[in-house]
Every structure is written in C-alpha cells, then in structure tokens.
C-alpha cells in the first residue's frame, strides 16, 4: 500500500547540476513523531502532487526530511548577507534544505524547500530547528500575500515534529515545506563575489538569467539587463508591500530573492494604524526596516547586488560603476511609478496629476494625525463613494477633517468617471477587507501551540479571500483593541 501512496514529485534539479560551489549536499535530521498540521491543497494541485499521497505517513515523512522523496537531491545552499548593514560572508541554509526543483502544472520551475529540518554545515551556533508558531506564521502570511496578488514564496505544509525546541521557553517543533520561484538571493551573489571566483559568479548569473530573466540574454549586455530586471522586480514588489501596509521586518540581503518574490517571513507583520515609522521586530532597535524605510533599504540592497556583479558589467571598473549606478539610480522613479499607479487604483482614480497627488498626500497626513487603521480606511472609501460615508467617518475621531478630504476626492472621481458604483467595485478588488491581523494571528498561534488548530484554519480561510467581504467575519476586519497595539513585537523565530 505504502508504495502506491508515496508522493511523487517530478524533480529536475538544475541548481545542483549547474552550480557546484554554491551548496553542500546534506540530509535532514530524523524527527520522532511527525504529524501533519497544515497542507496547502491549492498549492499541491498547482504542483501536480496528489494530496492523498502527501497526507500518507510516507508523504508526511518526506515533508520532514525523514524520508527522501525519489529524485530529490537535497542541499544546503551557500550565501552571504548584509545583516542590519554588516557583512557576514558565510550564512547559508543553517536549518533548511533545498530538496530539488519541480516543474508545476504550468511548466514553471519551483523550488521545494524544507525549513527546520536540522543542522547543516552552515548552522553555526543554531540548533537547525524551527518551532510551530513561526512556521505557521510563515504559512498564513505567505498565503495572505499570495491572495493579495503579491509575488511570494508559499508554504506547502507544516509538520509538527513531536520534538520540543529550546527557545526562551520550550516550544513544539515543526518543519515547513515551502515553494518558491527560487531561493537565489542577493546574498548568493555576494557569496560568489566574496569567493573571488569569476567563473562561479558568471555561472550563477548565467543561471539566474536563464531561470528568471531569459529576455536579458537577448540584449547587448545581458548582465546589465539582468541587474536592471532585478531592480525593476524589487521596485514593483516593495511598492506592493507599501500598498497593503506590509512590513517585512528583516530585509537583509540574504532575505531578498532575485526572482522578485517575498521570501523569509520572520518578524513580518501588517501595520494597523498608519505610521511610516512603524517597526514590529524586537531586534530592529534603530528602525532600519521600518515601514517607510523599505523602498530605501531595497535600493541599498540592490547596491550590494551591483557591487557583486560589477566585474561582469564591463571590463573597465569605472565604466562598470557608471552603468550600474545609472540603473541603480532609476530605482526611485520605478518605485514611484509602481506605487503611484497602485495608489491611484486604491483611490479609484485613473489620472495622475497635481490634484490626485495632493489627495494622496493629504489622506496619509490625515491617517497619520488621527492614527487611522490603514486597511479599514482604504476599504471604507468605496462605501463613501456609494453614498454611505458612515463607515469611513466612524474611523476618525474628528470626522470633519475627513469630510473635507472626501468632498474633494469625490469631486475628483466625478471628473474622471461617470459611474461611482463601477469605480467602487474596482476599488474593492484592490483594497482588501481582510489581512492577517496581528492580534488574531497571535491568538491563533497560541491556540495551535496548545493543540487547537481551529482558529488558525479559520484565519487561513478568511485571508485567502481578502477582497470578498462576508457576513459574520467582522472581527477579522477590525483593528486590534487599543491595549494590544502599542507594545506589539514580533520575533525572528530562530
Ligand atoms: P534569517 O535572517 O532568519 O533568515 O536567518 C539568518 C541566518 O541564520 C541564515 O543563515 C539561517 O539559516 C540561520 N539560522 C536561523 N535560525 C537558525 C537555526 N535555528 N539553526 C541554524 N541556523 C539558523
Ligand atoms: Mg533568511
């Protein structure tokens, strides 16, 4: 029976084949009592994997690294990273394994990756393990981002290991299986560059071009076109974060994927009350990764990528610096274009222009001054456009200021469009009603730690249809109670 139910993945492991020097072959550590907590059926279907097989004891053993799937070629990937600005030449997968790559039903190559599967040669002082809470957190935030249409790595499964892991307290352990376009990071390039191995750097870049940006290969300077494509993908990605109030929390260069997907969900969270200075991470004392700083940090990280690939851009260093700088300096314009377009859509406007810009700026000032919940505010605007401003007004302690703004805004919408109802409907396709609210995430994780997955599963059900308002789910749309918000901190989960 077990043979028939063993999950089969159509592995094709190009990273292992082509990028020797950037990994160590490795195996997972056995875990005593694996138990499947969450399986992402939607994603399994996309990968063409039979969910029944994944749920079988053998499938679950594969998802912890206890049993190697046929065709897997597990490795720990090597990478460097700038962590909070300081360079660490050798980070790498300390507690993770790339099992291999799978072509999904659309023919897209996806990494299948375990996190929390035991110590690797890159583990340094870490124990190689992960706890249930942070892995479920990565599951739900990743699904929320995906459902919001934001490129992201996604969790396929979370399996409890039956082991306790030692953190500040003892916590139940887990292994996360995640799927990503790849796990090639800015830090992977920094690693190849730091090795002073021109061949390795070239092989990595050629590989990344072929896998993620094949069009770059057709240009006059493929390496420069590659850099430009990465810059553009990051400008677009971070703009999307900023449009939903997402704070990554630890934008080190080892946590920035070349593909343009969000990866490595650690101390991330969605902002409630709007304030660009918002920081949740317990270790981000200086606010380096504060909400409003994210575009700036993305550009800073891209400068590290530019430095790494510099020798490929031009034989002459000065000329290489000049072309790289030109591209790097285009980041703010690209970011502003993506963000501006997204913000117009959130406000139901189509024409950028001085009045639209003023409306955007003034709304943010109002939100900041009155500490308005970011998500609720944008969502409430569509009701106001339909002639029911009560929902939006109720968010403001001093609604008069909002009334003045709303009058100008409705007038602007009216100059652009004849039908406010159509505009309102379009706004509701970009302004979510449900995001994973921090206080509810914490509640659901506490219940999961105590053995009750009910609240977590319900939350996943809610946030995977973020734009679709449903009766009975009001609690999921409301910001945290006053006493929760102020001291809220998130942790890296290491
Ligand atoms: P992060 O910034 O959390 O993505 O991780 C930074 C580095 O620390 C990476 O190289 C991880 O593999 C490593 N790391 C984090 N937690 C652990 C752990 N518990 N055991 C071993 N390595 C870890
Ligand atoms: Mg990381």
**Do 158 and 255 belong together in one domain?**
no
Residue 256 CA: which ligand is closest? 2
Q: In this predicted model, what pLDDT tens digit does every residue of 50-105 receive, in sequence order? A: 999 999 999 999 999 999 999 999 999 999 999 999 999 999 999 999 999 999 99
**Do 174 and 302 belong together in one domain?**
no
Q: Is residue 320 part of a domain?
A: yes
In this prediction, residue 491 has a pLDDT band, given cuts at 50, 70 and 90, of confident
Q: Is residue 448 part of a domain?
A: no
Final residue in a domain of this structure, among 283, 311, 339: 339
**Do 33 and 171 belong together in one domain?**
yes
Separation of CA 83 and ligand 2 centre (Å): 10
Maximum pairwise Cα distance, the chain: 69
Name the more confident of 4 and 199.
199
Look at phi and psi of residue 96 and say left if phi exceeds 0, alpha if psi is from -120 to 50, else beta: beta
Nearest residue to 423 (alpha-carbon basis) of 339, 337, 344? 344
**Do 150 and 290 belong together in one domain?**
no
- What's the pLDDT score for residue 494? 57
Name the more confident of 1 and 458.
458
Q: Is residue 486 part of a domain?
A: no
**Do 194 and 138 belong together in one domain?**
no
Q: How many other β-carbons are positioned within 10 Å of the β-carbon of residue 426?
A: 15
Q: Is residue 205 part of a domain?
A: yes
**Do 125 and 232 belong together in one domain?**
no
pLDDT at residue 418 above 80?
no
**Do 156 and 223 belong together in one domain?**
no
User: Is ligand 1 within 6 A of the CB of residue 250?
Assistant: yes
For the chain, the domain total comes to 2
pLDDT at residue 1 above 50?
no
Cα separation, 433 vs 440, in Å, equals: 15
Nearest residue to 35 (alpha-carbon basis) of 162, 173, 140? 162
Least confident of 29-33, 269-273, 484-488: 484-488
Cα separation, 101 vs 112, in Å, equals: 6
In this prediction, residue 4 has a pLDDT band, given cuts at 50, 70 and 90, of very low
Per-residue pLDDT, averaged over 171-188, amounts to: 98
Per-residue pLDDT, averaged over 362-370, amounts to: 97
**Do 255 and 309 belong together in one domain?**
yes
DSSP reduced 3-state for 17: helix
In this prediction, residue 484 has a pLDDT band, given cuts at 50, 70 and 90, of confident
> Is the Cβ–Cβ distance between 405 and 362 less than 8 Å?
yes
- Catalytic: which of 93, 111, 232, 254? 254
Q: In this predicted model, what pLDDT tens digit does every residue of 126-160 receive, in sequence order? A: 999 999 999 999 999 999 999 999 999 999 999 99
Is 254 assigned a catalytic role? yes
pLDDT at residue 485 above 50?
yes
Final residue in a domain of this structure, among 150, 180, 210: 180
Domain containing 283 equals 186-339
- What's the pLDDT score for residue 8? 83
Which of the listed residues 89, 93, 94 should we mutate to test ligand 1's pocket, taking the one with most ligand atoms within 8 A of CB?
94
**Do 196 and 100 belong together in one domain?**
no
**Do 173 and 47 belong together in one domain?**
yes
Percent of the chain with pLDDT over 90: 94
Separation of CA 82 and ligand 1 centre (Å): 13
Q: Is residue 471 part of a domain?
A: no
> Is the Cβ–Cβ distance between 439 and 480 less than 8 Å?
yes
Q: Is residue 308 part of a domain?
A: yes
Q: Is residue 479 part of a domain?
A: no
Q: In this predicted model, what pLDDT tens digit does every residue of 19-29 receive, in sequence order? A: 999 999 999 99
Q: In this predicted model, what pLDDT tens digit does every residue of 207-245 receive, in sequence order? A: 999 999 999 999 999 999 999 999 999 999 999 999 999
- What's the pLDDT score for residue 18? 98
Residue 493 CA: which ligand is closest? 1
Per-residue pLDDT, averaged over 379-383, amounts to: 98
- What's the pLDDT score for residue 2? 41
Cα separation, 166 vs 143, in Å, equals: 27
Final residue in a domain of this structure, among 149, 165, 180: 180
Q: Which residues pair with 179 in a beta bridge?
A: 112, 154
**Do 199 and 238 belong together in one domain?**
yes
Q: What is the mean pLDDT of the chain?
A: 96
Query: Which residue's alpha carbon is at the smallest distance from atom 8 of ligand 1?
Result: 94
Per-residue pLDDT, averaged over 175-200, amounts to: 98
User: Is ligand 1 within 6 A of the CB of residue 95?
Assistant: yes
Cα separation, 100 vs 94, in Å, equals: 17
**Do 78 and 224 belong together in one domain?**
no
Q: Is residue 295 part of a domain?
A: yes
């Amino acid at each position: 029976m077990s043979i028939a139910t063993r999950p089969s993945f159509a592995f094709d492991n190009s990273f292992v084949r082509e990028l020797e020097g950037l990994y160590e072959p490795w195996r997972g550590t056995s875990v005593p009592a694996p138990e499947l907590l969450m399986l992402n059926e939607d994603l399994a279907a996309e990968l063409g994997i039979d969910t029944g097989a994944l749920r079988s004891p053998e499938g679950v053993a594969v998802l912890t690294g206890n049993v190697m799937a046929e065709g897997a070629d597990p490795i720990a990937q090597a990478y460097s990273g700038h962590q909070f600005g300081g360079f660490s030449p050798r980070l790498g997968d300390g507690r993770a394994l790339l099992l291999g790559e799978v072509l999904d039903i659309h023919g897209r190559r996806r990494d299948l990756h375990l996190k929390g599967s035991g110590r690797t040669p890159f583990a340094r002082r870490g124990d190689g393990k992960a706890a249930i809470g942070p892995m479920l957190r990565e599951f739900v935030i990743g699904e929320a981002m995906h459902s919001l249409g934001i490129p992201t790595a996604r969790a396929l499964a979370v399996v409890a290991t039956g082991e306790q892991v030692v953190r500040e307290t003892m916590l139940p352990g887990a292994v996360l299986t995640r799927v990503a376009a790849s796990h090639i990071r800015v830090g992977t390039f920094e690693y190849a560059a730091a090795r002073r191995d021109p061949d390795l750097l070239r092989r990595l870049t050629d590989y990344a071009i072929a896998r993620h940006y094949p069009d770059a290969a057709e240009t006059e300077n493929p390496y420069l076109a590659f850099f430009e494509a990465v810059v553009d993908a990051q400008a677009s990605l971070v703009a999307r974060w900023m449009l939903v109030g997402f704070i990554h929390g630890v934008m080190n260069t080892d946590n920035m994927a070349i593909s343009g997907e969000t990866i490595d969900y650690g101390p991330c969270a969605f902002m409630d009350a709007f304030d660009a200075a918002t920081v949740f991470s317990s270790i981000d004392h200086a606010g380096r990764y504060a909400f409003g700083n994210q575009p700036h940090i993305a550009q800073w990280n891209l400068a590290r990528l530019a430095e790494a690939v510099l020798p490929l851009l031009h034989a002459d260093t000065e000329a290489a610096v000049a072309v790289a700088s030109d591209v790097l300096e285009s980041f703010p314009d690209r970011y502003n274009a993506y963000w501006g377009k997204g913000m117009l859509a959130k406000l139901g406007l189509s024409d950028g222009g001085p009045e639209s810009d003023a409306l955007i700026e003034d709304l943010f000032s109002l939100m900041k001054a009155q500490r308005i919940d970011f998500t609720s505010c944008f969502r409430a605007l569509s009701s106001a456009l339909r002639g029911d401003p009560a929902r939006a007004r109720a968010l403001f302690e001093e609604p008069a200021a909002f009334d003045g703004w709303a009058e100008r805004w409705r007038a602007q919408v009216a100059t652009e469009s004849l039908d406010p109802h159509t505009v309102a409907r379009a706004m509701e396709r970009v302004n979510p009603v449900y995001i994973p609210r921090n206080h509810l995430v914490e509640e659901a994780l506490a219940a999961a730690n105590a053995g009750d997955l009910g609240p977590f599963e319900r939350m996943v059900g809610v946030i995977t249809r973020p734009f679709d308002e449903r009766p009975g789910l009001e609690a999921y749309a409301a910001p945290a109670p006053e006493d929760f918000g102020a001291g809220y901190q998130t942790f890296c989960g290491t």
